[in-house]
Amino acid sequence: MSKPVIEVKNLEKVYEGAVPVRAVNGISLTITQGEFTALKGPSGCGKTTLLNMLGGLDQPTAGSIAIGGVDITTLSENALIDFRLRNIGFVFQAYNLIPVLSAQENVSFIMLLQNRPKEEREARAQQLLEAVGLKGKEDKRPGQLSGGQQQRVAVARALASKPQFVLADEPTANLDSQSTANLLDIMERLNKEEGMTFVFATHDDRVIKKARRIISIEDGKVLSDD
Amino acid sequence: MFKLAWRNIWRNKGRSIITIAAVMFCVIFAVVLRSFQVGVWEHMVGDIVANNFGYLQVHQKGFWGDQSLDLSMDETTLDWDAMENVPGVRSLVPRLESFSLVSTGENNRGSLVLGIRPEEELSGLRLTDQLIDGRLFAPASNEVVVSEGLAEYLHVEVGDSLMFLGQGYRGASAYGQFMVAGIAKISNPELNKQLVVLPLETAQWMYNAMGLLTTVVVDLEPNADFAEVKASLEPVLGSDFELLDWEQLFPELVQTIEADMAGGQIFVTILYFIISFVLLGTVIMMVSEREREFGILVSIGMRKTTLAAVTVLENLMLLVGGAVVGMAVVKPVQFYFKYNPIDLSGQMKEAIEQFDFEPKLYTTTSFIINLNHGAIVFVIGLLVSSYAVWKIMKLNPVKSMRA
């Protein structure tokens, strides 16, 4: 049996305001090594909030999140940033690449933050860009790449730090069919060949069809887990 | 990090160039303003003090306060050799100075009468370069050199006679008739209006003060520090004499300089306030435009302190770039106006002359001013950057990525 990568217990997130909103309402789940999992549900169901908390970007109101056995809800801000740097890869809906850096530099940047040697950074960035089908585009800046290409650079960046898992928030929302298919093929291949764990928040059927585990969320609760 | 900061600067070239230009012009204006201000005073102090009155003067104790001939000192009571051997002392210049009513025909004026030995004098009173008509008086003669302004007022020319009437040493009458040997243009406007110069021995004779001096000017070696020389010279003189530096001799000049400097400082401060808000506007725009990117960088694992350091580095590169260019561009301007001062004319000239200042605007070439203003800009940069640091330190990556 694969070892658990993420263990969530009784997770809650309440946004305070004139009318408090309970975005995540008592979710417990476990993600194991090598999963290719989709969190699906309508807009506003709480899947992005859950994903942000899994990534340590947002703090829960109650409950715990253990990643590789570490309860990230107890970490200080800097410790959490360092933890994200070494353990979690992110792919965002809007690519979110650094516009002034080339494709290769965007991928290398995260390794630079990890203080890895220059030779290692360059070699791994080349290898990852080749793996996502962007050989020859290393020196292009984000503005010179298509949306699909940018998202592939984002995937390469997410993998560059050798994370325990990758969280992808609506990664195909801005892509056309062909780019979506290419991106999903790449991520599926990385999942199968390198055992990388992927967790998607999506309502894109093309992503959901590829997922081997689908967790349906509605009103901040897990509706089904197949 | 340097590479990232450098590229961020050029992502919005227009804004960066405007920021650099704003800093550059601010530094140029501030340095030019201060250079003129300091330069004018430097020149004035140099003219009044270094060339005419000296940085240090020796008198009989109490003379400077009373300005009375009765407080003159006997030449023989001074240890001239010991004084000249003090490090930093170039020469000692003996003088007898007093006041007399000087008249010719219908005109008369109270004048400063100065007995000197021209060959031993400071450059401003050697007179050979200052003569605009006639010649220098002969040693121990009954001849005088009259300043240009006084000659105009008295309507005298070379060859005319002047009558002197005043009070000499210990109440003796001091009077005499002297021939105008020459007319000199004294660079200090105040002196130029009232000075009559005659041989030291002649002045001693007229004031019944043979062998007496009112003043010994201490001429300093170039670059000698007057305070250090003063400290070394005081023990040599003993308690019967007073040794005053130029700031004690002319406290009103020091106050005027300080007041003028303070006024200039207010103007420069206003200038820096304006530039601070221009820069703050730039930083606010930059932070606003890049809030999303800041969120991404923190999300993927960049510490906020590192991110803040990058943004501070960006701002400092812009500011230091502008300041360095400004400091470099303004340097030739400083040199040009030091050696080619602006001649004031018309009402401004008259207004300046009313205060006995030479109506010329000089600059100083002191690089300290440039460095000071570069440092001020650097500090402004740090202060302005603190806004970006504050925004980054309280950044919430999720909210920022939605921006």
pLDDT tens digits, A57-102: 999 999 999 998 899 999 999 999 999 999 999 988 888 888 888 9
Q: What residues of chain B, 295 to 354, have a C-beta less than 8 Å from chain A? A: 296-304, 306
Closest C-alpha to A101, from A124, A117, A125, A84? A125
Examine residue B130 and state whether it is found in any structural domain, yes or no. Answer: yes
Helix (H) or strand (E) holding B327: helix B304-339
Q: For an interface test with B, give the residue of A51, A75, A100, A106 to mutate (most B CBs within 10 A).
A: A100
Identity of the residue in A52, A85, A98 whose CB atom sits nearest the CB atom of B301? A85
Neighbouring C-beta atoms of residue A142, cutoff 10 Å? 20
Average pLDDT of the segment spanning B346-374: 75
- Does the distance separating the beta carbons of B303 and A81 come in below 8 Å? yes
Identity of the residue in A58, A78, A110 whose CB atom sits nearest the CB atom of B300? A110
- Does the distance separating the beta carbons of A77 and B304 come in below 8 Å? yes
- Measure CA B29 to chain center: 19
Residues composing chain B:
403
Examine residue B42 and state whether it is found in any structural domain, yes or no. Answer: yes
Residue B175 pLDDT more than 60? Answer: yes
- Does the distance separating the beta carbons of B398 and A98 come in below 8 Å? no
Residue B355 pLDDT more than 60? Answer: no
Give the residue from chain A lying closest to B304, CA to CA. A78
Tokens of A144: 């010179």
Examine residue B178 and state whether it is found in any structural domain, yes or no. Answer: yes
**Distance to chain B for A100, nearest Cα, Å:** 6
**CB contacts, 8 Å: B294 with chain A:** none
Examine residue B53 and state whether it is found in any structural domain, yes or no. Answer: no
Shared domain for B263 and B303, answered yes or no, is yes
Hey, is the C-beta of A177 within 8 angstroms of any chain B C-beta?
no
**CB contacts, 8 Å: A101 with chain B:** 4, 7
Which amino acid is it at B24? M
Shared domain for B149 and B269, answered yes or no, is no
Read off the pLDDT of residues B234-262 as tens digits, 9 standing for 90 and up.
Answer: 999 988 999 999 989 888 888 888 888 88
CA A32 – CA A10 distance, rounded (Å): 18
Does ipTM come in above 0.90?
A: no
Q: For an interface test with B, give the residue of A52, A88, A96 to mutate (most B CBs within 10 A).
A: A96
CA B17 – CA B9 distance, rounded (Å): 9
Identity of the residue in A52, A86, A98 whose CB atom sits nearest the CB atom of B398? A52
Examine residue B114 and state whether it is found in any structural domain, yes or no. Answer: yes
Q: Can you give the pLDDT at residue B351?
A: 62
Average pLDDT of the segment spanning B130-137: 92
CA B252 – CA B61 distance, rounded (Å): 21
Q: For an interface test with A, give the residue of B10, B298, B300, B305 to mutate (most A CBs within 10 A).
A: B300
Give the residue from chain B lying closest to A167, CA to CA. B300
Shared domain for B43 and B76, answered yes or no, is no
Domain interval for residue B154: 62-238
Which of the two residues, B153 and B403, has the higher pLDDT score?
B153
Overall domain count for chain B: 2
Identity of the residue in B8, B296, B304 whose CB atom sits nearest the CB atom of A96? B296
Q: Can you give the pLDDT at residue B340?
A: 87
Give the residue from chain B lying closest to A76, CA to CA. B303
- Listed range (A8-12, A162-166, B48-52) with the worst mean pLDDT: B48-52
Give first-to-last CA distance, chain A, whole Å. Answer: 17
**CB contacts, 8 Å: A109 with chain B:** 4, 300
Domain stop point among B238, B263, B295:
B238
**Distance to chain A for B296, nearest Cα, Å:** 7
Q: Can you give the pLDDT at residue A30?
A: 93
Hey, is the C-beta of B402 within 8 angstroms of any chain A C-beta?
no
User: In which band, very low, low, confident or very high, does the pLDDT at B274 lie, cut at 50, 70 and 90?
Assistant: confident
Residue A54 pLDDT more than 60? Answer: yes
- Does the distance separating the beta carbons of B4 and A81 come in below 8 Å? no
Tokens of B42: 């430097």
Shared domain for B165 and B310, answered yes or no, is no
Hey, is the C-beta of A80 within 8 angstroms of any chain B C-beta?
no
Read off the pLDDT of residues A166-199 as tens digits, 9 standing for 90 and up.
Answer: 999 988 888 788 888 888 888 898 888 888 899 9
Compute the half-sphere exposure of residue B130: CA atoms within 13 Å on the CB side of its CA.
27
**CB contacts, 8 Å: B296 with chain A:** 92, 96, 98
User: In which band, very low, low, confident or very high, does the pLDDT at B352 lie, cut at 50, 70 and 90?
Assistant: low
As a whole number, the mean pLDDT across chain A is 89
Shared domain for B233 and B107, answered yes or no, is yes
Q: What residues of chain A, 128 to 147, have a C-beta less than 8 Å from chain B? A: none
Shared domain for B20 and B136, answered yes or no, is no
Shared domain for B180 and B67, answered yes or no, is yes
**CB contacts, 8 Å: A58 with chain B:** 398
Read off the pLDDT of residues A127-155 as tens digits, 9 standing for 90 and up.
Answer: 889 888 888 999 999 999 998 899 889 98
> φ and ψ at B172, to 5 degrees?
-65, 150
Shared domain for B76 and B43, answered yes or no, is no
**CB contacts, 8 Å: B4 with chain A:** 98, 100-101, 109
Please state whether beta strands A88-91 and A165-169 pair in parallel, antiparallel, or not at all (unpaired): parallel
| CA dist B382 → A87, B283, B317, B387 (Å) | 35, 11, 11, 9
Average pLDDT of the segment spanning B60-71: 91
Q: Can you give the pLDDT at residue A11?
A: 93
Place of tokens 């946004």: A15
As a whole number, the mean pLDDT across chain B is 88
Q: Can you give the pLDDT at residue A143?
A: 92
> φ and ψ at B224, to 5 degrees?
-70, 145
Q: What is the CA angle A121-A125-A131, rounded to 5?
A: 150
CA A195 – CA A166 distance, rounded (Å): 11
**CB contacts, 8 Å: B301 with chain A:** 81-82, 84-86, 110, 113-114, 161
- Does the distance separating the beta carbons of A96 and B301 come in below 8 Å? no
Yes or no: say if B384 and B315 are a contact pair by the CB < 8 Å rule: yes
CA B99 – CA B349 distance, rounded (Å): 28
Tokens of A84: 């994200």
Residue B136 pLDDT more than 60? Answer: yes
- Does the distance separating the beta carbons of A81 and B298 come in below 8 Å? yes
Examine residue B245 and state whether it is found in any structural domain, yes or no. Answer: no
Give the residue from chain B lying closest to A51, CA to CA. B398
- Does the distance separating the beta carbons of A100 and B7 come in below 8 Å? yes
Domain stop point among B203, B238, B273:
B238
Examine residue B246 and state whether it is found in any structural domain, yes or no. Answer: no
Shared domain for B36 and B68, answered yes or no, is no
Shared domain for B205 and B277, answered yes or no, is no
Closest C-alpha to B219, from B138, B331, B121? B121
Examine residue B248 and state whether it is found in any structural domain, yes or no. Answer: no
Identity of the residue in B293, B302, B397 whose CB atom sits nearest the CB atom of A57? B397
Q: For an interface test with B, give the residue of A98, A105, A118, A169 to mutate (most B CBs within 10 A).
A: A98
Yes or no: say if A169 and A119 are a contact pair by the CB < 8 Å rule: no
CA B70 – CA B39 distance, rounded (Å): 39
At a CB cut-off of 8 Å and minimum separation 6, what does A191 contact? A34, A36, A197, A198
Yes or no: say if B176 and B169 are a contact pair by the CB < 8 Å rule: no
The CATH number of the structural domain formed by A4-225 is 3.40.50.300
Residue A113 pLDDT more than 70? Answer: yes
Which amino acid is it at B5? A
User: In which band, very low, low, confident or very high, does the pLDDT at B39 lie, cut at 50, 70 and 90?
Assistant: confident
CA A196 – CA A166 distance, rounded (Å): 8
Shared domain for B68 and B188, answered yes or no, is yes
Q: Can you give the pLDDT at residue B70?
A: 93
Tokens of A56: 């340590």
Beta strand ranges found along B338-403 (DSSP E): 342-343, 360-361
Tokens of A155: 């995937």
Yes or no: say if A204 and A172 are a contact pair by the CB < 8 Å rule: yes
Shared domain for B164 and B196, answered yes or no, is yes
